[in-house]
Amino acid sequence: MEERKNRQSWLDAGLRALAEEGVQGLRIMPIALQLGVTKGSFYWHFKNLDEYQSALLEEWEQSHTQAAIECVEGLGGDAAVKLRHWITGSLGADFMLSRAIRSWSNTDQRVSSVQAQVDQKRIAYLAKLLRDIGWPKADALALGEWTYWAWIGYSTLEGAHASEAQITLILSVLRPK
């Protein structure tokens, strides 16, 4: 195994550790052992644990929000099709990391701030899709918030599964009459 690995290897391993163990899993030596490298590899890429945690939060925001939005947009289709992609993708996600970060945000103001930014970005995207399918701006925002809050609740349930019929029903409720 290469001695230093790369920065992305450390970020991927850190996100896995966070998902599996919570913030307590963000320790340099166990992650280094998992990667098969020395602690020096960590310091090649990060000044300290605080910088590493900040980089993990940036990576999470990028890979689990911005990249998801870009993916949905890249799939194309009208706003209703994009809304379906967003909802089915969100419901099919692995929620361990989301739960770990939301839990961490309860004890760390920096994480809470990033979590709030991510929440607002996701709600804004949902509201945009809802406006694009015909809801007035204020209604689209309210529906976007409620849809997102429902997703947060859904993400806390172990083994939750939405059927295609349920997704179709949810989408029909979100379409203006």
> Alpha-carbon distance 148 to 87, whole Å?
10
Give the mean pLDDT of the chain.
94
Computed from CA positions of residues 38, 40, 41, 46, in that sequence, does the dihedral angle turn out positive or negative? positive
pLDDT at residue 2 greater than cutoff 70: no
pLDDT of residue 35: 94
Does this chain's domain 1-46 share its CATH topology with 57-174?
A: no
pLDDT at residue 117 greater than cutoff 90: yes
Model confidence, pTM: 0.91
Domain boundaries, the chain: 1-46, 57-174
CATH topology of domain 57-174: Tetracycline Repressor; domain 2 (1.10.357)
CA separation, residue 161 to residues 27, 68, 93, 155 (Å): 33, 20, 11, 10
Alpha-helical (H) ranges within 62-108 are: 67-75, 79-91, 96-105
Read off the pLDDT of residues 41-86 as tens digits, 9 standing for 90 and up. 999 999 999 999 999 999 999 999 999 999 999 999 999 999 999 9
pLDDT of residue 78: 97
pLDDT at residue 108 greater than cutoff 80: yes
> Alpha-carbon distance 61 to 97, whole Å?
11
CATH topology of domain 1-46: Arc Repressor Mutant, subunit A (1.10.10)
Q: What is the mean pLDDT of residues 11-37?
A: 96
Sorted by sequence, the CB contacts under 8 Å of residue 27 that are 6+ apart come out as 17
Identity at 33, one-letter amino acid code: L
Q: What is the mean pLDDT of residues 145-161?
A: 91
pLDDT of residue 51: 97
